[in-house]
Structures are given as structure tokens and as C-alpha cells.
Amino acid sequence: MTIPGSSLLMDNETSCLPCTPEEEKQIINKLSNIAESNLKEGDLYFVISNRWFKEWQEYVKQHNGDFPVDECSTHSLHANRALPKKVDRPGKIDNSFLILNEDGVEGGDLQLKRTLEEGHDYVLVHQEVWKKLYCWYKGGPAIPRKLISQGFLHKTFIVEVYPLSLQVLDARDNKKFSICMSKKSSVQELYNKVAKIVGLHEENIRIWDFFNKRKNSLLFVSDKTLEEVNLQMDQDILFEVQLDASIHFGSGMDSTGNRLALVPIESSRLPVTIAAGPAMSNGYSLPTDMVDGSDSLSTISKGDFGGLAGLQNLGNTCFMNSAIQCLVHTPPLVEYFLQDYSHEINKHNPIGMHGELAIAFGDLLRKLWSFGQASIAPRAFKGKLARFAPQFSGYNQHDSHELLAFLLDGLHEDLNRVKSKPYFETRDGNGRPDEEVAGECWDNHKARNDSIIVDICQGQYKSTLVCPVCSKVSVTFDPFMYLSLPLPSTVKRSMTVTVFSSDGAALPMPYTVTVLKHGFCKDLLQAVSTACCLKSDESLLLAEVYGHRIYRYFENPFEPLSMIKDAEHIAAYKLPKDHKGLTKLEIIHRSKEKYTSNVLDSGVMTLLGAPLVSCLPEDATTGADIQNAVRLMLSPLLKTKADCPPIQIYSSKESVFGSHSPQSELTKESMDKMDTDQEANGKISFHLSLTDERGSSCSALENEFCIRQGQFFRVLLDWTDSEHDLYDISYLKDLPEVQRFTAKKTRPEATSLFSSLEAFLKEEPLGPDDMWYCPNCKEHRQATKKLDLWRLPEILVVHLKRFSYNRYLKDKLDTFVNFPIRNLDLSKYIKSNFAAAQSHIYELYAISNHSGGLGGGHYTAYVKLVEGNRWYDFDDANVHSISEDDIRTRAAYVLFYRRVKVESQEDLGEQSEAH
């Protein structure tokens, strides 16, 4: 599909007339909105360099009010923390660095580099948007991609950025060339394309699925899509030429017929190495992939060689291989899927997958347990996965835990023994015993959900929510499929924060505290509050100071400290404890610039020092009250006059904090001078101007200015020679950085599985995005939440939350987790009484590992075969034995435990005492 940019755009030359940046932005926004409101399969989108597109965005932003000019000061804060600069019009569109090879694919299709990320390397724009941008800027090359639909239960549209790349082998001379086609293209279209390239009629060729250099199946001309016939990215296909065009595909002739020009090709297999010694004793030479389709569901035996087959990587499918190996080595699932489970397949479940996922998984498991050391290419299973879970389609790296969650839930729905789910209304406990409520909830759950997955993988936990306002307690009992445990960090970080006293009680003072590196703002507030001896009626407001302004306030206590960088300047302002409803005042300082030239006063106002923040008294009503608040906050900065008797500042109204500090003193001469100036001018003594958040407007603050409670006022304080003579402003300058020097490298941190479990179970407030609706208050509240384990399953899946995502950054924790391999005793964490008769001792049997970082990494699996009592490392198609001493690593991501069964209650008691 080659669509040169120029050929798309010359239909309307008048549309290429020069536009202003604002007009360009409006036109593109309009075209984008129209396109997004009329999406249909087959629409064309174009790949554009993100680097160029950002330049264009900056160019059109500058004339759209996004970069306002500060009329009061030459300093202004912006989202990019820089003064606005004139942005030049971008040059030609340059997509060249995105292209892998401009002439390596037959048919002219352009292939992209495989490591590109949307939003980082490229953006996608609709065809109409591309036309307009190309019309204005030219350049290229044009990289069109089709919009396709994905999913079976829930249809979604995605742009197929990476079409299916196939390696076409000519059986006549072994020559090979590449083609690119949409995976939604039909086999008929594949025949048309290959025939056109080789210059033959499509009825004179036939094409084989030649995956792994083997003739797996003949691709008959049909409307089936390439996805449906399980063709994979970069795989080989083989085309043969019929010497007699009258021979039809369905004639029954096999691949050795003498009417075909064939080339003999040796079958290749990826060997599986077993460190334990020689190959298994059966000596079979097995194919690498079985013929697609379902095996018979009759009972088969694991045999003495099963379970050591690897899974071939189909293109970034190591995440899938790791998850599958853990599941297919789960003993109860092995026993279940090796038996005849056909009677339990639920093909009519409206939220299931008509049994197709369960059948595909069962087929794959039976292959893995029936073919010993051979590696399997899970193409049919991946095809089902892409159909039912489009998020895992394509060839990007994904998360093995997310896939596990989907598989467990999907297998449950496909194997749900309940054909018609009854309805149960949720009942509140109303003071009933927990055992009664929990039993009722579990029975209701089982009445709707009854499958092998529920039997072995689902447990139950108790969730307690408490309203912080009315103390309403809500207790629910919910099922769980796995436990997602946080990794509590022990790495410390030193942070310096400057504390400002807004009641004039003390000079600004820096405090250096130590907090958890992966902690939250609430932890920093607690540490600074202790260091500065914060009073019970006071609270701290954290803010970042940048460019002599407050860049942002840290009002969310759960904002991660990782958002505060070492080079930043953090201030903490002492305010009344309940300051949220009070009127706040922010003071920004500025002064005239001084030059060393003959012109001493340039008249240009520049910002200086750190801002001050305070709360106005509830009875503050005029500009004079703002003047008094400013005077109070500046009082600690007064220069002492030894030759003049000091007098205390007076105020027409009492401060929010009560009486003034003895430090708040002025000399009689200076007070008289300020009063005289005020009476003569009819204005407040300081030169104050009201301004907005960005400082883009100024208005003089008059005495009669009216204050409305609850507002946030920002004022500019102009420092004249008079103020400089009275106050020492050096205390407001040169705020220390959060951490001046880079911290020394510490030993790699480590934690235990029990520490993670306790962090998961501890009581904590809900996040601001997870507010709870209190039925008593009829409001959403930030309730406290406490989880307790109530019922544990036979198979316990533990997910270690190594990946953290928020709107600012992504991160991976490489914390070493010391987890038990055997005798994991969870008895003390179980809160139910009836569960005491059941064993809560677990033994590890599988691990899904992730090594590397967020940008890529690699998944493997460690699995213990119970029959041989030996651990194996499953690394895609390669399998080898591994010592039990080597399975504890920083790569451990998902742990699989199996309950250790005991014969009697006495044995259970003895095990509990022993551990």
C-alpha cells in the first residue's frame, strides 16, 4: 500500500495557501474531531515523527495564549519552566529515522523500526490531517497504516502500525523476498499479491504455511484472514508453481507430486537442552508443532517424559510463554486438562468465549505434556488470544501478570458449571457475626461461579472501610484470584526543606530530614513537622519554589517523593491547622535591577527572594489588613537599631495566631516615618500590587480594597531603598536545594515476602482517586481501608508489584524479595475461625520472572516438576535444569504456591508449632 504524500494533496491548491499558526491549529483540530467521530474499519492513518510534530505543536501554541507575557515582571513561570521564546516555523516533515528499509519490501511498502513507541517516537494522524500537514510543509515519506477492528466480545479499533511481515520463499530457486500485509487481509489477497510480484497467475501457484521451515498446512484460496490461519510476524511462507494449471488444489496430491516444481528443504528443530543428562528414553523424533486443530479430549497420560517442552518465541511473546509454563505446570490443572473435560465446557456463557479459550489452552497443555523435549510453537493459542484479548495482539512486549489474570478469568468463564446465574442482592452485615456474613457471601459467589479455577485458585478476603467523618463501618467479603503485594522500600533519602513562620515568630530555617526514597509527601511532612517542633494547632503547607515564585503546592499527601528532584527548592509554610477555609495570602518580592554602569537604576523590576505565604484573619476585610499581614511576616527580618528604643508593631486586628512575637519590633523613628508616609499618601505603607497566578496582570492595592473570605490573594511587594534599609532580605535568598550532593550508593535493598504481605494488609487511607461513598454522609469520603485474609485457595498466586505507573513516570523496582520455597506458613494472617482446621502451609512450584527494565526486558519461568522433584528453567524454547538454590533472584515477579496437605489435625498442629 504505497500512497505518496504529494499525490494525496494536490487536489485543492487553494488549501495550501499560507496560514497563521492559530488558523493551522484550528484547521487540524477540526479535521481531527471530524475523523474521530466517524471511525470505520479501513480508514487510513499516517505515522509522523513525534519530534517534528512537537515542533509544530510548539509553533502553533505560542500564538494561542498558551504563553502569556508577564506585564509586571520579566520573570514568569510556565509548564516548561522557561521563559517564552519565539518558536520558528518547523521545516519539512522528516520521517526518515522511523524507516527500517525503504526498498527492502516487495510492493513498495515501508517497514518501520521494530523498537518504536507511540507518543515517544511517532504519533498517528488521520489521512485528512496528513493531507493538510503535507500540503503546508511537504517532506515525508508518507507512511500509511490501516485502522482495523480487534476483539470478539468487545470490538475496538486500533491502527495496525506494524502489518504482518512475511518472508516468501520461491520453491524453484530458494530465493526469498519480503512482503507486508494487514493481518486482516484474506488468503485470497495473499495469493493476488504474491502472484503479481512473481508475474504469474494466482491459479498457477499454491502457498504453504512454512513456519520453522516445515510444510505445516496448505493455504487454500479463501476469505479467511491471515490472522485466522495463524500466520506470524516474519515467518516463512513457501510458494510452488503448478506446471499443469488444470490441477486443482483439492485434487488430493501432496507436496511430493511430480507436477509441482519443488525444492527439498531439511526440517529444522530447536533443541531443548536438559542439564540433567541425556534425552528421555522414548527416543521419539517429534515435530516442532502439531497440526492446528483440537485434539481429542479423551483421557491421556502424562507419561514419564512430559512437561519439559519449551515454547517458541513468536515475536516478543516471552511474556506469554512464561505465564503459560507456570499454568501448564500447576498440578490440579494438569490433571484436569489431561482428562476428558468436554462436558464442562460452557459454550453459552454470555461473558465467556464460547469455550474456545479453554479448548485452545487444553490443546496446548496436552501438546506440552505429550511431546517430551520438543519445543512447541503456540501459534493457534496466540491466535485465540488475539481474538478474545486484543490488548495482547501484535508483537509488542506485555505483562505476564496481566495475561495470567486474563487467562484465569477467561478459563473460569469457559468452564463455569453454572449455566444460568441466579441473582442475589447484596446484604449489609448489620452487626451479624463475620463468619455468618462471609459464609453467605461465599455461597452466593459459588452459586454463580463454579469451575475448576474457583475450586483451586480463588480465596476470600475481608475488607473494612471506616468513614473519617461519621465513623460508619462497612465490612464486605470479596473473592480474589491472586494477591498483588507492594514492595516496601527501605532505601532512605535525605531532603532539605526551608520552613517559614507566617506569624512572624521566627526566621526562615532549613531542616534536613531522612525519609523513605519511595515514600510520599505525607512522610516528608511528618519528618519536617517533628524536626521543626510543629505545634498541635499548626500545620505545614509544602511548595516548590522556582524562579522566585511558587511553582506548585504539594496538597496531595499521597504524591510520591520521586516527583521532587534533588536540585529543586522546597519550602514549608507554617499555617493554622484548619487553614483550608481561610483566606490565603502569597507575597512575591521584586526590586529594581542595579547595574555597575553609569546608569545605576535601570527601572526594570526583577523578582528576588522566596515567596511568603500566610492566612488572613477571619475578620480581615480591607487592603489595610493585607498590609498588616505583610508587616507581620516581615517582622523577623528587621535590622536591629541599638541606639533607638524598640516598640512593638501594632495591628488594628488580632493575628490568626494571637499576639505578636517579641521579635516583631520597629524603632520609633521608623514607625513614625511609615505612619507619616501613610497619612500623606492615603495609601498603605508598602508598595503592593495584586497579581494573578502567572503574574500577567497588576493592579495597585488600595486601602479600601475589599476582601472576600476564602479567596487566594497574590501580591507583588516592591522593595525600595527604604525597605532595604529596614529589613535584611538575605534570609529569603539562596534557598538550599533538596539534596545538594548525590547520595552515596547504598547496598541493594531487600525485603521479605512477609513484609510485603503485611504492607498489603495494613490499614491506610484510600487514595484521592478511590473515594468511598458513605451511605450515612451521602458523600464521597477518603475512608480508611483494612484488608484481612479470610479464606485461602489450594493454589496461591502472589504477584509482586514491581511496576509502578502514575501520570508522571513509570518505574520498575528491582528489590530482592526473600520468599520461602517451602513451608510458607500463613496461619497468623487468617482471621476466620472455621479455617483453622485447614492447612495454611504452602510450597513453591513455579515463578514467572522478569529481567531488565521497562523498555524491554525478558520473561522466563522457573518450574518444579513434582515427579522428578527438580527445578527447570523455561526460557522460551530452551529448557534446562536449575538448582533450587538459584531460583531466588531479583527477577521474581509472580510466585505460584500449592497448599501442603496434612493427614490429620494433629499433623496440622505439629506443623504450625514447628514454623
| Catalytic residue list | 318, 858
Q: Residue 687: which of 715, 706, 659 has the closest Cα?
A: 715
- In whole angstroms, what is the distance from residue 893 CA to residue 401 CA? 8
Residues 6+ apart with CB under 8 A from 83: 75, 76
Alpha-carbon dihedral sign for residues 708, 710, 711, 714 = positive
Query: Residues with Cβ < 8 Å from 781, sequence gap 6 or more?
Result: 467, 468, 469, 771, 772, 773, 774
C-beta of residue 52 within 8 angstroms of C-beta of residue 94: yes
Residue 679: how many other CB atoms lie within 10 Å:
9
Please enumerate in sequence order all residues whose Cβ is within 8 A of that of 731, keeping only pairs 6 or more positions apart, or say none.
507, 508, 636, 637
Cell representation of residue 648: 512593638
Q: How many CB atoms lie within 10 A of CB 807?
A: 4
Q: Which residues contact 393 (CB under 8 A, 6 or more apart)?
A: 150, 385, 386
Which among 139, 140, 141, 146 is positioned nearest to 162, based on CA atoms?
Answer: 146
Buried b (16+ CB within 10 A) or exposed e, 783-806: bebebbbbbbbbbbbbbbebebee
Taking the C-alpha atoms of residue 442 and residue 459, their distance in angstroms, rounded to an integer, is 9
CB 682 within 8 A of CB 700: no
Report the interhelical angle of 21-36 vs 127-137 (nearest 10°). 160
Query: Distances from the Cα of 113 to the Cαs of 54, 110, 148, 392, 857, in angstroms?
Result: 20, 10, 21, 20, 18
First-to-final CA distance of the chain: 66
Q: Which of these, 712, 677, 708, lies nearest to 693 by C-alpha position?
A: 712
Query: How many Å apart are CA 395 and CA 235, to the nearest integer?
Result: 13
Peptide bond into 141 cis (omega under 30): yes
168 forms bridges with which residues in the sheet? 177, 237
Within its chain, how far is the Cα of 182 from the centroid? 29
CA dihedral 300, 303, 307, 312 (to 10 degrees): -70
Q: How many CB atoms lie within 10 A of CB 440?
A: 15
- ∠ CA 455-461-464, nearest 5°, is 160
Q: What value does the CA radius of gyration of the chain take, rounded to a whole number of Å?
A: 36
Residue 240 forms beta bridges with which residues?
206
Helix (H, G, I), strand (E, B) or coil at 775: coil
Residue 176: closest CA among 255, 239, 269, 264 = 239
In the chain, the amino acid numbered 792 is L
DSSP, collapsed to helix, strand or coil, labels residue 289 as coil
Rounded Cα–Cα distance for residues 308 and 315 (Å) = 21
Strands (E), 467-530: 473-480, 483-485, 492-501, 509-516
- Pairwise CA distance, residues 520 & 206, whole Å: 63
Strand, coil or helix: 792: coil
The DSSP output letter for 560 is B
The answer to whether residues 541 and 524 touch, using CB atoms and an 8 Å cutoff, is no
Q: Is 456 helix (H, G, I), strand (E, B) or coil?
A: helix
